[in-house]
Amino acid sequence: MNTTSHDTTSPAIETGEDYPEIREGVRKVCSGFPGAYWRALEETLSYPTEFVRALTEAGYLGALIPEVYGGSGMPLRAAAVILEEIHASGCNAGACHAQMYTMGTVLRHGSEEQKRRYLPEIASGRLRLQAFGVTEPTTGTDTTKLKTRAVRDGDAYVVNGQKVWTSRALHSDLMLLLARTTPLEDIKKKSDGLSVFLIDIREAIGKGLEIRPLKAMVNHHATEVFFDNLRIPADSLIGQEGKGFKYILDGMNAERILVSSEAIGDARWFTKTAVAYVSERRVFDRPIGQNQAVQFPIARAYAEAQAADLVLRRAAARFDAGLPCGDDANMGKLLASDATWHAAEACLQAHGGFGYAREYDVERKWRETRLFQIAPISTNLVLSYIGEHMLGMPRSF
């Protein structure tokens, strides 16, 4: 007999709804962008301009920008809640989430002049900083070996190289770029000699910058970016030359926490959708959800998402308190991406053939949520962090 009582004050997956007003506000914005909106965008590979505009106008995309630069200066946890609710509503923040964490590099390491020039414009939505160029086709996760070069020439840098999977570059005004400024053979530590630049795409396009769309499994506006003797002003450099890898690493915990919150939101959507469907759908004269073989995978994924959510909340609390949070950010990323994938699988399977019907949105969300196993960091790389840095096992690369 099951002797534990269910806590009826905590419905579904909400572990106590922190920031209830933000959640309510985001849900309200998202209610104007139902599944049909996202399906239509996929048909034409279009960018959700109206959705991004609505979020910007409501102030959500400037959540992390300090008030002095025109944002609302909220903690990371508030931004995580915004992204979670977007995904729990069936929408997708992939078109605009990068702004939240790439902006952090400018905020933490940019000059006062750069902050004053860009942050208020980004907060108002007049400028989009949505493109983040790190990944390269031939070096992959081995970031310090990246080959894109930026060479100082008078009052400019000349950039040559190639990036791949640079999301949203065709829908962004600015791009944060990681490039090598000192050749690998001239440095002692391989993480030295990389630099971060803020490139004005509008100025650069056609003058050494070419962006080509990349067709992908999801409508993520991924591109390939080519630099061919692109001259950018020397003041495009963020912080000190050669310290760029550290700056990017600084932002990665925030990025992992934020992106994992989207995974939690997806897990909530899959759970809610699956529960509703299996309770309604009747086969063999009873709801399919009465069969425990259908129920259990949904129940298991729900429990996994709850656990992931708690680790992520701890990660965000540590980040907001200025404490080291890499361990929780990495574990939270691993747990959240697994939880949402299991929830997606359970939901798709429970829908039978209808799981494949576009109009149910299950297959779209299933494709979208698979991405968390790969980007922004793949599962194996997170496991290697836990194995090596947290557990002290031998370094593998």
Ligand X SMILES: Cc1cc2nc3c(=O)[nH]c(=O)nc-3n(C[C@H](O)[C@H](O)[C@H](O)COP(=O)(O)OP(=O)(O)OC[C@H]3O[C@@H](n4cnc5c(N)ncnc54)[C@H](O)[C@@H]3O)c2cc1C
Q: Which 165-194 residues touch ligand X, going by CB under 6 A?
A: 165-167
Distance CA 369, CA 56 (A): 24
Q: Which residue is nearest to ligand X (CB)?
A: 140
Q: What is the dihedral of CA 111, 117, 119, 122, to 10 degrees?
A: -150
Which region among 18-26, 131-139, 323-331, 354-362 touches ligand X (by CB under 6 A)?
A: 131-139
Structure tokens at 357: 């019907």
User: Which of left, alpha, beta for 85 (phi over 0: left; psi -120 to 50: alpha)?
Assistant: alpha
Does the protein bind ligand X through residue 58 (CB under 6 A)?
no
Q: How far is CA 361 from the centre of its chain?
A: 20
Distance CA 89, CA 269 (A): 7
Q: How many CB atoms lie under 10 A from the CB of residue 233? A: 13
**Which CB, 134 or 199, lies closer to ligand X?**
134
Which region among 70-78, 121-129, 161-169, 354-362 touches ligand X (by CB under 6 A)?
A: 161-169
- Choose the catalytic residue: 84, 85, 255, 368: 255
Q: How far is CA 392 from the centre of its chain?
A: 28
**Which CB, 271 or 369, lies closer to ligand X?**
369
Contacting residues for 10 by C-beta, under 8 A, at least 6 apart? 16
Using CA atoms, how far residue 32 sits from 50, 60, 94, 218, in Å, is 10, 16, 17, 21
Asked if 383 and 377 touch (Cβ cutoff 8 Å), the reply is no
Smallest distance, Å, CB 132 to ligand X? 5
Does the protein bind ligand X through residue 259 (CB under 6 A)?
no
- The only residue of 20, 32, 140, 324 in contact with ligand X, by rule CB under 6 A: 140
Distance CA 1, CA 3 (A): 6
**Which CB, 110 or 376, lies closer to ligand X?**
376
- The only residue of 303, 374, 390, 393 in contact with ligand X, by rule CB under 6 A: 374
Active site residue 255: yes
- The only residue of 41, 106, 315, 377 in contact with ligand X, by rule CB under 6 A: 377
Contacting residues for 74 by C-beta, under 8 A, at least 6 apart? 63, 64
Does the protein bind ligand X through residue 249 (CB under 6 A)?
no
Distance CA 134, CA 368 (A): 21
**Which CB, 64 or 78, lies closer to ligand X?**
64
Q: Which 268-307 residues touch ligand X, going by CB under 6 A?
A: none
**Which CB, 140 or 324, lies closer to ligand X?**
140
**Which CB, 59 or 265, lies closer to ligand X?**
265
- The only residue of 216, 234, 307, 317 in contact with ligand X, by rule CB under 6 A: 216
Using DSSP, how many helices (H) and how many strands (E) does the chain show? 12, 10
Q: Among all residues, which ones are annotated catalytic?
A: 255
Q: Which residues of the chain form contacts with ligand X (CB under 6 A)?
A: 132-135, 140-141, 165-167, 216, 220, 222, 371, 374-378, 380-381, 384, 396-397
